[in-house]
Amino acid sequence: MKALALPRDQWADTLARAGSSNQHEQLIIELLDADNAGRIDVVPNAGERAFDTTPLDRAIADMVASIGPR
């Protein structure tokens, strides 16, 4: 995968081609503008993150159980 720069004037059209509504496009553009302007910051240790492992058999069993009887 390779990240490519997308000029701002192409954001709305690109989001629309991906299936976004006009309202969603505007929200995403506002979010990106705020991030690019430095108005969004990540605060270290501001929230909890948990890491663990799940055995494959348990993961499959949980997925099958979530489907329920047919």
Select from 57, 25, 1, 21 the least CA-distant residue to 9.
25
25 C-beta neighbours (distance < 10 Å), count: 17
Q: What is the pLDDT of residue 29?
A: 97
pLDDT tens digit sequence for 20-33:
999 999 999 999 99
Give this prediction's pTM. Answer: 0.56
Q: What is the pLDDT of residue 28?
A: 96
- Tokens representing 65 are 């159980």
